[in-house]
Copies of this chain bind each other. A is one copy, B any other.
């Protein structure tokens, strides 16, 4: 027998300007005539209106229209329990939280899930996990890839600049994540899925070729983030998307007085890790320079001491997860870089 590997992908992908106004059409075409819609708290009212309009125009019943404030397992379980029998699909509209909860409700109910991100701040809109708190602790819970991914490039392009930068930072992290994966192979024999690693790599290099702030840039960034989610599905682990830089960001979430956007933290940590890894630092620097990432960070700088603490804590965040931070002396070298590297020093206030 030919043991070919089977993987799942979204059945419907639309990435174009104006896609939001066609959301109802997509549901209708797939006979999903009744949907629960989960919207991020504080969503731009005009987008909410456009979503309502397209659903109404296409005769999609809205069984619930829920504003999501908290991305917790408990919230998702609650929503699942209150689902009506008629519901045929779950729609998530907005940023990370609404999408994470919607994805998980859909998973519990085995309903098709339509991800409709309004910004490209991270790769969660097309990943097979939901980032949810459980009893107050953040976890990455196994869920399912979306049935549909609807990206309105115009809407995402117009998202606040820091959200866009967060996406750029999360994307860049694939470079150091894949490198950490290979280090883990050499150090402790953790198997690397070359296909997933290449796909993950490819997602970054694609965007590096044209990191512009226009529709085409949004298309490339969204494609990159999407394929990154697929890469995780392929190998059944977060390795192609998450290495030491993510550990540092998770640690920051735990100890910061005011945690920043995921991708902003991750982006800076990516540059730091690349120095430790001696891997593509110049290229990452150039990308961040061209894209305006450094500028965004400078506008609201981090605390150097929190970062030092986060770096110390990072290796204990995940058990049995080898990264460049696991190497002897790496922690001290990393902390020293906060002060000695010009780019990094400029990221910290005071």
Binding site for B on A (CB under 8 A): 1-15, 30, 73, 77, 81, 85, 106, 108-113, 134-135, 142, 144-145, 147, 193-195, 198-199, 201-203, 205-210, 219-220, 223-224, 226-227, 234, 236, 319
A235 CB → nearest B CB, Å: 10
Tell me whether B15 and A198 are in contact (CB under 8 A): yes
A12 to chain B, nearest CB (A): 8
* A227 and B199 contact, Cβ closer than 8 Å, known pairs A4-B147, A110-B1: yes
Alpha-carbon distance A340/B142, docked complex (angstroms) = 55
Question: Which of A12, A15, A147, A202 has the largest count of B CB atoms less than 10 A from its CB?
Answer: A202
**Partner of A10 from B30, B112, B195, B209 at Cβ < 8 Å:** B195
Whole-angstrom distance between the alpha carbons of A10 and B77 in the complex? Answer: 27
Query: With A5-B8, A109-B142 in contact, do A135 and B81 touch (Cβ < 8 Å)?
Result: yes
Closest chain B CB from A237 CB (angstroms):
9
A105 to chain B, nearest CB (A): 13
Residues of B within 8 A of A7 (CB): 6-9
Set of chain B residues within 8 Å of A14, measured between Cβ atoms: 194
Contact B147 A2 (CB under 8 A): yes
Nearest B residue to A235, CB-CB: B1
Q: Determine the distance from Cα of A157 to Cα of B210 in the docked complex, in whole angstroms.
A: 25
A206–B224 CA distance with the chains assembled, in angstroms = 10
Q: Which residue of B lies closest to A319 (CB)?
A: B85
The 9 A-B residue pairs with the shortest CB-CB distance, nearest first, are A209-B209, A110-B142, A206-B206, A13-B194, A13-B195, A205-B206, A4-B8, A5-B11, A208-B209
22 contacts between A and B (CB under 8 A): A1-B110, A2-B106, A2-B110, A2-B113, A2-B144, A2-B147, A5-B10, A5-B11, A9-B195, A9-B234, A10-B195, A13-B198, A73-B77, A81-B134, A81-B135, A108-B108, A198-B226, A199-B227, A202-B206, A202-B220, A205-B207, A205-B220
Alpha-carbon distance A145/B144, docked complex (angstroms): 16
What residues of chain B lie closer than 8 Å to A198, measured between beta carbons?
13, 15, 219, 223, 226-227
Of B3, B5, B144, B223, which one neighbours A4 at CB under 8 angstroms? Answer: B144
Q: Which of B199, B205, B223 contacts A209 (CB 8 A)?
A: B205
Bound-state CA distance A45–B73 (Å) is 36
**C-alpha gap A202/B202 in the complex (Å):** 8
A136 CA to B242 CA in the complex, in Å? 41
In the complex, residue of chain B having the shortest beta-carbon distance to the beta carbon of A141: B108
Complex CA–CA separation, A220 to B203 (angstroms): 11
Docked Cα-Cα span, A2 to B30, in Å, equals 11
For the A-B complex with A15-B198, A202-B227 known, give 15 more contacts whose Cβ atoms are closer than 8 Å: A1-B110, A3-B112, A3-B147, A4-B145, A5-B11, A7-B7, A7-B9, A9-B195, A81-B135, A199-B223, A199-B227, A202-B202, A202-B206, A205-B206, A208-B209
